Structure 1
Amino acid sequence: MPTKAHRTDAAWDCYAREDVTVGAEPVLIGLGFMIEPPEGYYVEIVPRSSIGLKTQLRQPNSIGIIDNGYRNEVKAMYESRLMPSSGMLDCTTIPQKIKAGDRIAQMILRKQEEAELVEVDELSETDRGAGGFGSTGVR
């Protein structure tokens, strides 16, 4: 079962159900539980903060969304990132070993917001306009 280390924690820690070696290709790792969120809620599965700092593991889909109607084991998807080897063009993957019982993810319960999408022919004007992807500068 997912656990919280502290009553005030925003997320529950989730544990690997099985031993897995993670390489360059994404793998699904069972977390050993199923969940039925309350109506109007869904769950996000995200990496623990220490995963990004202390390992080469990355969650390729950034956030796993567990819809309210999903009824199967919750899993986390991980891959091991490529690391430069001898030359900057040469990269290698360092396999990461996960053992059953390792805390590998966090689960966040979120309220689902509803909105109606409306198709329009044009958008309103703003100061920003179409600028994106760093258009406001580096600093």
Structure 2
Amino acid sequence: MKPRRSLSRRAPQAGVMLLEALIAILIFSLGVLALVGLQTVSIRQSSEAKYRADALMYANEIIGQMWVDNRNFANLSANYATGGAAYNAWFARLQNNNSLPGAAANPPTITTVVAGAPADPSTMVTVRVSWKAPNEPPADPAHSVTVVAQIK
């Protein structure tokens, strides 16, 4: 009888568990990177929403001042249009609060136009508040909010 020779063979699935572990780590890492990216976008969107809310607050503030002041067209055009005394005081407050970055480089504009019938005149006021978020490329246009109000 011939002696049996034992040939040592490797199991056909040797190393498969290591490969499965590496693939699991890769999938987990991609998930973590996706969550980090999601958090970054969330923070950026939250900042943009805050700037929009602040811009709307400032626009509504100046429109509110127009409502409680003498509401005839001559007064609104002289005091509240871009460059007027009330406009300059409002713009100085806007700059001093530092809540809208880049507002000094992109000053807000206020235009007034006579609207309505001659018997019942009113003033159509357009307030545009602009800002530029920090870390945006200089070539990007400024963000802006425009509010239109009719003051009688």
Provide the TM-score with structure 2 as the length reference.
0.27
Rg (Cα) greater in structure? 2
Relative to total residues, which structure has the larger strand share, 1 or 2? Answer: 1
Higher helix content, 1 or 2: 2
- Normalising by the residue count of structure 1, what TM-score does the alignment of the two structures yield? 0.29
Q: Which has the higher contact order (CA 8 A, sep 6+)?
A: 1
